[in-house]
């Protein structure tokens, strides 16, 4: 089997090249121990941990496999699929999604080497700019460097917090260029480590722009150079996204900027307007206010933080927005933004989002456009295979297989990450890529997107997985079930109080009838790290009646999740009767018995007697009757739901 990865980046990096792509090859020699190369987000290879040395024999194999073809045939022949292939898999895009899919393909190759004594996968990456895509170069990675600085600044500037800990610190300051260098150096380090990891695996990195010519055929090349063509049994599109800029907004890259420009931190304005109050806007408001700026949010919807669970969003606003130098305008569009020029400030004209009537006009030092991201799919050659994008997104099914203009599946073509619009997160792209590699390797796999967590790295952090409460209630109404809510406060957690960081809340949304976890939302210290226990529970189908028995180290922040799951109560039912809380007395307390399962399914129950208002459950278990007698007296359940 063979695999290829092509990468794509946005046009800001090179005016002459519309999209960057990556290409490379590798071959793997069997070893005594299988290597674990599982990838989600940035893998250990990105940190420079994993290095796989190649032998001279391996280099010779790789060299002999470089069979890139010169483009000489007419495009009229692109409609027919090739009968033999250069690669088993071509991935167009080497961001986190494409890179993750490529490395999982390496893992699948190693499995074949170890199990079947076959030669490993062959991979190439076509790169028109730099490896790592948006996340590494203009997104997740450098933004976390800036947020690390803003977090330290907040700690040093919070006199009340420091005094509570018995600390005395003189006035804190910062060097803007030093902060910018920290972000740039981190991105450069991760990018280099990713590149070196691919090279160490024998991946060839070729430079050029990738375009689909026809079924199972891709062209790549640079402006001013000859094009090359490769064929592949399967192709994955992973071209990512670029900042979305609404009409009427003029971006000059200096005073009117996108997140791409803001991450360079070329200056810190005294007053900056941020258009959009989602993840991107919130994180940059955290950075700018920590560095001394005043911030004004401009939000088209009627409330700030529209994508968050309303209860969590309300609490977060009380902590992240109201005490800080932040004001906001909601229910308005920024219909026109003019950059600063000739001594005049940035001008923002706002209109009512519903009536379109003119509202206020702002004059600020800078404006950050944080209105989301748009798929980067132009120039891919999708017209050559009858694929029509929907608002720029490539249409796919639940297995990420591309759907053409006639509603039919395009054989051997997949699309992952921001380009398909299912979930515009770097780690979601990686997970989708891994899922596709499983499929093309012969193992069916469908990714549960409700199990993919998300996080906003403000101070404190916000994280979530699954459904919000309104979404869960809508689903429950449509499907005919009830939901319950459980909560746990950071104020009751020893570790949070030791850090003097008791402001926070964890919220669980679940089905009381079967214990299914529908959603978990956390606001508080290290919320981004805490969410994964919940996301893994959803992914594995773990119910609250099982996860509540998990043990957490004390004292740790993880005990917030422990308390959250333990506070959730299931309802048991016998002949239509339900009970939200039914407890056994010792000695069976803590055992897996009818109090945590559907009564009708409990093997211990052999007879059930019902009265007008109560159900008496008689438990008989062979020779263990005496042990269970203590339960009988408390096995009286109400027909009506009872809240604990």
pLDDT digits (tens, 9 = 90+) for 321-339: 999 999 999 999 999 999 9
- Contacts with 185 (C-beta within 8 Å, 6 or more apart), sequence order: none
How many other β-carbons are positioned within 10 Å of the β-carbon of residue 179?
Answer: 20
Mean pLDDT, range 309-323, rounded to an integer:
96
Q: Do domains 87-242+375-441 and 256-371 have the same CATH topology?
A: yes
Q: Which CATH architecture has domain 256-371?
A: 3-Layer(bba) Sandwich (3.50)
Mean pLDDT, range 262-280, rounded to an integer:
97
- Catalytic entry in 10, 322, 532, 554: 554
Asked if residues 292 and 149 have their Cβ atoms less than 8 Å apart, the reply is: no
Q: What is the DSSP letter of 636?
A: E
Closest CA to 602 of 520, 548, 551, 545: 545
Cα separation, 66 vs 87, whole angstroms: 11
For 505, counting Cβ atoms within 10 Å of its Cβ (0-12 exposed, 13-18 middle, 19+ buried), the class is: buried
Q: Residue 241 — left, alpha, or beta (φ > 0 → left; ψ -120 to 50 → alpha)? A: beta
Q: Using 50, 70 and 90 to split pLDDT, how confident is the model at 527? A: very high
Whether residue 480 has pLDDT greater than 70: yes
Whether residue 247 has pLDDT greater than 90: yes
pLDDT value for 262: 97
pLDDT value for 120: 52
Asked if residues 101 and 238 have their Cβ atoms less than 8 Å apart, the reply is: yes
How many other β-carbons are positioned within 10 Å of the β-carbon of residue 426?
Answer: 24
Instruction: Please name every residue paired with 371 in a beta bridge, in sequence order, or none if there are none.
Output: none
Cα separation, 343 vs 361, whole angstroms: 18
Asked if residues 176 and 268 have their Cβ atoms less than 8 Å apart, the reply is: yes
Residue-wise pLDDT for 7-42, tens only, equals: 443 444 333 333 333 333 333 333 333 333 333 344
Residue-wise pLDDT for 69-119, tens only, equals: 333 333 344 567 777 888 888 889 889 998 888 888 877 766 655 554 445
Sorted by where each begins, the domain ranges of the chain are 87-242+375-441, 256-371, 453-567
pLDDT value for 615: 38
Instruction: Please name every residue paired with 337 in a beta bridge, in sequence order, or none if there are none.
Output: 249, 348
CB crowding 376-409: b at 16 or more within 10 Å, else e? bbeebbbebbebebeebbbbbeebbbbbbeeeee
Cα separation, 209 vs 381, whole angstroms: 11
Residue-wise pLDDT for 560-616, tens only, equals: 999 999 999 998 644 334 333 333 434 443 344 434 444 444 444 433 333 333 333
Q: Which CATH architecture has domain 453-567?
A: 2-Layer Sandwich (3.30)
Considering only 158-162, 297-301, 427-431, which range has the smallest mean pLDDT?
A: 158-162
Asked if residues 404 and 383 have their Cβ atoms less than 8 Å apart, the reply is: no
554 is catalytic: yes
Structure tokens at 306: 């529209």
Structure tokens at 112: 């074949």
Q: Using 50, 70 and 90 to split pLDDT, how confident is the model at 121? A: low
Closest CA to 566 of 492, 496, 463: 492
pLDDT value for 106: 77
Q: Tell me if residue 80 falls in helix, strand or coil.
A: coil
HEC string of 232-289 equals EEEEEECCCEEECCCCCECCCCCCEECHHHHCCCCCCCCEEEEECCCHHHHHHHHHHH
Q: Residue 201 — left, alpha, or beta (φ > 0 → left; ψ -120 to 50 → alpha)? A: alpha
Q: Count the helices and strands in the chain (H runs, E runs).
A: 17, 30
Highest mean pLDDT among 51-65, 551-565, 627-641: 551-565
Cα separation, 11 vs 18, whole angstroms: 5
Mean pLDDT, range 295-315, rounded to an integer:
96
Whether residue 634 has pLDDT greater than 90: no
* 572-574/577-579 β-pairing: antiparallel
Closest CA to 265 of 381, 138, 352, 170: 138
pLDDT value for 160: 87
Considering only 22-36, 424-438, 441-455, 577-591, which range has the smallest mean pLDDT?
A: 22-36
pLDDT value for 104: 87
pLDDT value for 90: 87
pLDDT value for 572: 64
Higher pLDDT, 164 or 123: 164
Asked if residues 273 and 364 have their Cβ atoms less than 8 Å apart, the reply is: yes
Mean pLDDT, range 171-199, rounded to an integer:
92
Residue-wise pLDDT for 532-564, tens only, equals: 999 999 999 999 999 999 999 999 999 999 999
Whether residue 4 has pLDDT greater than 90: no
Residue-wise pLDDT for 327-386, tens only, equals: 999 999 999 999 999 999 999 999 999 999 999 999 999 999 999 999 999 989 999 999
Q: Tell me if residue 201 falls in helix, strand or coil.
A: coil
pLDDT value for 1: 47
What's the pTM? 0.78
pLDDT value for 83: 76
Percent of the chain topping pLDDT 90: 60
Given this structure, which CATH class describes domain 87-242+375-441? alpha beta
Closest CA to 212 of 412, 431, 17: 412
Whether residue 635 has pLDDT greater than 80: no
Residue with tokens 């990456």: 125
- Contacts with 180 (C-beta within 8 Å, 6 or more apart), sequence order: 264, 265, 266
Residue-wise pLDDT for 129-149, tens only, equals: 778 999 999 999 999 999 999
Report the mean per-residue pLDDT for the chain: 80
- What Cα–Cα distance (Å) separates residue 164 from each residue in 160, 346, 524? 6, 42, 19
Q: Using 50, 70 and 90 to split pLDDT, how confident is the model at 626? A: very low
For 554, counting Cβ atoms within 10 Å of its Cβ (0-12 exposed, 13-18 middle, 19+ buried), the class is: exposed
Percent of the chain topping pLDDT 70: 73
Asked if residues 525 and 577 have their Cβ atoms less than 8 Å apart, the reply is: no
């Amino acid at each position: 089997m063979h695999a290829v990865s092509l990468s794509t980046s946005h046009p800001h990096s090179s005016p002459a090249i519309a999209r960057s792509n990556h290409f490379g090859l590798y071959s793997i020699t069997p070893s005594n121990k299988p290597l674990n190369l599982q990838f989600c987000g940035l893998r250990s290879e990105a940190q420079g941990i994993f290095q796989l040395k190649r032998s001279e024999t391996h280099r010779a194999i790789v060299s002999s496999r470089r069979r890139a073809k010169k483009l000489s045939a007419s495009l009229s022949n692109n409609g027919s699929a090739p009968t033999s292939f250069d690669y088993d898999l071509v991935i167009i895009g080497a961001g986190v999604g494409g890179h993750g899919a490529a490395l999982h393909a390496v893992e699948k190759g190693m499995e074949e080497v170890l199990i079947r004594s076959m030669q490993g996968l062959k991979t190439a990456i076509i790169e028109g700019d730099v490896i790592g895509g948006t996340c590494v170069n203009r997104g997740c990675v450098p933004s976390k460097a800036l947020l690390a600085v803003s977090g330290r600044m907040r700690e040093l500037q919070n006199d009340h917090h420091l005094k509570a800990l018995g600390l005395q610190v003189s006035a804190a300051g910062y060097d803007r260029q030093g902060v910018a260098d920290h972000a740039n150096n981190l991105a450069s380090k991760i990018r280099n480590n990713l590149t070196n990891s691919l090279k160490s695996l024998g991946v060839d990195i070729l430079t050029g722009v990738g375009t689909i010519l026809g079924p199972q055929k891709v062209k790549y090349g640079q402006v001013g150079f000859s094009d090359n063509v490769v064929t592949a049994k399967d192709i994955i599109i992973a071209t990512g996204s670029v900042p979305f800029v609404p009409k009427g907004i003029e971006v000059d890259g200096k005073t009117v900027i996108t997140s791409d420009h803001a991450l360079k931190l070329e200056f810190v304005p005294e007053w900056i307007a941020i258009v959009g109050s989602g993840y991107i806007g919130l994180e940059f408001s955290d950075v700018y206010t920590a560095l001394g700026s005043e911030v004004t949010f401009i939000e088209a919807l009627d409330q700030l933080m529209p994508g968050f669970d309303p209860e969590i969003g309300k609490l977060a606003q009380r902590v992240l927005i109201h005490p800080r130098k932040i004001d906001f305008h909601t229910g308005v569009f920024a219909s026109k933004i003019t950059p600063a020029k000739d001594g005049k400030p940035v001008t923002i004209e706002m209109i009512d989002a519903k009536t379109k009537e003119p509202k206020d006009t702002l004059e600020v030092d800078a404006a950050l456009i944080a209105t989301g991201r748009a798929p980067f799919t132009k120039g891919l050659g999708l017209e050559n295979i009858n694929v029509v994008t929907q608002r720029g997104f490539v249409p796919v099914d639940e297995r990420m297989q591309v759907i053409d203009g006639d509603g039919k599946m395009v054989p051997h073509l997949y699309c992952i990450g921001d380009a398909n619009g299912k979930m515009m997160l770097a780690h979601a792209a990686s997970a989708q890529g891994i899922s596709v590699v499983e499929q093309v390797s012969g193992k069916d796999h469908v990714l549960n997107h409700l199990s993919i967590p998300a996080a906003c790295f403000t101070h404190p952090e916000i994280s979530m997985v699954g459904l919000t409460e309104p979404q869960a209630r809508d689903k429950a109404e449509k499907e005919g079930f009830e939901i319950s809510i459980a909560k746990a406060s950071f104020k009751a957690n020893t570790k949070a109080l030791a850090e003097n960081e008791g402001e926070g809340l964890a919220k669980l949304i679940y089905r009381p009838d079967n214990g299914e976890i529908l959603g978990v939302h956390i606001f508080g210290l290290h919320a981004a790290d805490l969410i994964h226990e919940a996301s893994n529970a959803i992914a594995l189908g773990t119910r609250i009646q099982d996860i509540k028995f998990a043990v957490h180290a004390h004292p740790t922040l993880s005990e917030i999740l422990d308390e959250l799951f333990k506070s959730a109560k299931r309802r048991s039912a016998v002949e239509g009767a339900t009970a939200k809380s039914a407890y056994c007395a010792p000695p069976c307390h803590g055992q897996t018995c009818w109090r945590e399962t559907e009564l009708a399914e409990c093997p211990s129950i052999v007879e059930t007697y019902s009265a007008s208002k109560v159900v008496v459950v008689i438990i008989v278990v062979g020779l263990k009757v005496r042990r269970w007698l203590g339960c009988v007296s408390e096995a009286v359940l109400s027909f009506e739901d009872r809240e604990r």
